[in-house]
Structures are given as C-alpha cells and as structure tokens.
Structure 1
C-alpha cells in the first residue's frame, strides 16, 4: 500500500511554472480564436461573393443565351466570343468559391483544435493547482 502512495505522489509545480503554463494556454486560446475568426471571414466572404456575383452571373447567362446549355452545348458557338468568355467566367467561379469555403472550414477546425488542446493543457494542470492549494492549508 505504501508503494502505491509513493507512486501516486505528485510533485507540485512552482507558482512561476504554473503562471507560465497559464500564459501559454491563454496564448493558445488567442491563436485558436484568430484562426476561427479568419475561417468565419473566409466562409462569409464566399457566401457574399456567391450571392452578389455568381448567382447574378448565372441569371444573366440563362436570360441572355437561351440557345446554349451551361456546359457549352448547343448550336455552333465559334463566333460567340462573349458567350465563350462568359462561360469561362462562370466555370472558374465554383473553384474560387470552393477554395474559400474549404479554407474557411479548415481555419475554423484548426481554431477548434487549438482551443481543445488548450483545454487539455488546462485539465492537465489541475492536479498541480490542487496540490498547490492543498499545500497552503
């Protein structure tokens, strides 16, 4: 029984070590919040671009060029430079939107991961804080 007690003994951290760890945790939370904020901005900008630029572009295409499909199929379009440039613009939009949305989601997930790591560090520090408080009594 005595060997179990000795094995479970916890060497408490000094006050300076605990304060240093807490400062690191605060820094981690700030970094996580910054990543999450950038992620939300990217996703918000993607939605803004989609609503203000992509949807009106599609609507204009379907009202102007009724003889062609969005994939470019239809009658001969060799002399239709406006049609070809508009199709190229429409086809490049989804990759930009996808990049913005995936980048935003990735940033949010990194922010969440960093915040969870800070929580784990805080939980790992709790036995030391408890030992410090019990030592004062």
Structure 2
C-alpha cells in the first residue's frame, strides 16, 4: 500500500514538552501500519531524551503487532534508561492490554498530563 494511503489509516505526531517527548498516535496500529509507527517512535527513543510519552488516546484499533511494538519500545527505553509512559484511555486499547496481561507489565497512565507529571517527578528524583 502506498505510504500516502497509510496516512489515512494511522498518523504519528512528535511533540516536545520540556525534556519529555510526546509521540501521539491516532488510527490503527497493526501489521500494515507498524513501520509507519515504529520509525518515529524508535527515532525518539534513539535520541535518549529523559522521558517519552506514547499517547494512544487517538488509537481506534491495536492488533498483536501493535502490542509487540509497545513492548519492544518499553524494553528499548528500559535498556537506554529513558522513562516511558503509555497513555491508554480507549476501550479498544485498554481491553486488549487487559486481556493479554500487558497492562500489568507496561507503564500505563490515564492521561498525558499524568504521564508528564510522572516524568517530571522521575527527573527530579534522578
């Protein structure tokens, strides 16, 4: 599928917020769109900012490929000592995280504001 068509299925926007970086994802995260999401997300992690917030509030569907991508991003962040938070608020995302048990293993928060507050607290403590 041409990249311009993928833009209709998923979008990724990267915003700086102080020392933190917010990766805002909207649409569907699945095998078809995985590389569209992976590239900017892992580019942010590679820059090793103090904190990365992965905002999934606009995600309408996430498949097993998307879940694996989140787990890989969190593992990469852990290895690089980058604080990471995943903002998940929609039923489509929360239910799948719950069913798979990933909600107990990934750093899930209920809002970007909470994630940024946690990132600030971690930076102050470090």
Instruction: Provide TM-score, normalisation by structure 2.
Output: 0.23
Higher relative contact order (CA 8 A, sep 6+): 1
**Which is greater in Rg?**
1
